[in-house]
Amino acid sequence: MTLLAILLGTLVAGIGSVWLAAWLSFGVLSRYTQHMLSLAAGALMATAFLHLLPEAFESQAGAHELFLTLLLGLVFFFLLDKAELWHHGHEHGGGHGHHGHGTHDHDQVQAAHAHSPVHAHTAHSTAESTRGQWAVLAGDSVHCFGDGILIASAFIADMRLGVIAALAVLAHEVPHHMGDLAVLRQGSSSRQAAIVKVSMAGAITALGGAVGYVLVDALHDWLPYFLVVASSSFVYVALADLIPQLQKRLSARETATQILWLGLGIGMVVLVSALAGHQH
């Protein structure tokens, strides 16, 4: 039963996030991109601080070891982010390996695509463009595999946590996949081909979930540490990747709307937790 829940949760998070990203990127909801960033940031922070971390600290593991794991996890994801930014800089024009906030600014990627439709043809050969697309897909697949392991860890700890973690992964992967789709569309991929390719990478989440089920079940004593690593991932993505994209000068009304969507993200997690708790 737990394995089935893990597979369903990982498929919803992995593929569902791609389809929602495509809907936002190519559909009538594209103007709500900034709202989705706020929603995702709220959902991630609420999941980490209200559910995953409390569950980990209720175990027999020592607080010092768990806090150390949290710190090391944050540093690891920082280094992983730096490595991916460095790769992006060399892959997309060499010498510009950083953005204004040191993050993947997906809006900049999309803006570059919108205002420079011939960029992929003038800056890269067809072979280089193809290699760039597959590099993006390979990196996305690795990331999705890790998400699957984290979702499996949460499901094994508590069915409620699993549902929340799957929804949180879905929320935070949407802006990430929007960037992937924009990069693939810069090459020769049509909308449909781009969606199919990113969906295949998203499906790797289920493979990560199955592997995570075997590993976490065999190493049950390490479960609190898996949960803390999941928390560090969510906290890092929220504070280093999403929040900086929202840090721009806005009117009072726009700021209030941004805070509202952030609160909705937190409220969504609290609501799902309450509903899942009654089922648990």
pTM above 0.75, yes or no: no
Higher pLDDT, 205 or 87: 205
Tens-digit pLDDT profile for residues 60-74? 889 999 999 999 999
DSSP character string of 171-200: HHHHHHHHHHHHHHHHTT--HHHHHHHHHH
Tens-digit pLDDT profile for residues 262-279? 998 899 888 877 765 544
Secondary structure of residue 109 in the 3-state scheme: helix
Tens-digit pLDDT profile for residues 177-212? 877 787 777 665 688 888 998 999 999 999 999 999
User: Amino acid letter at 4?
Assistant: L
Q: How many CB atoms lie within 10 A of CB 268?
A: 19
Task: Check: CB of residue 88 under 8 Å from CB of residue 186.
Answer: no
Cα torsion through 229, 99, 261, 178, rounded to 10: -80
25, two tokens: 């990127």
Least confident of 44-48, 88-92, 100-104, 192-196: 100-104
Residue from 211, 207, 201, 210 nearest 176 by CA: 201
Task: Break the chain into its structural domains and give their ranges.
Answer: 2-92+101-106+128-279
> So what's the pLDDT on residue 12?
94
Higher pLDDT, 235 or 113: 235
pLDDT above 80: residue 33: no
Secondary structure of residue 280 in the 3-state scheme: coil
pLDDT above 80: residue 27: no
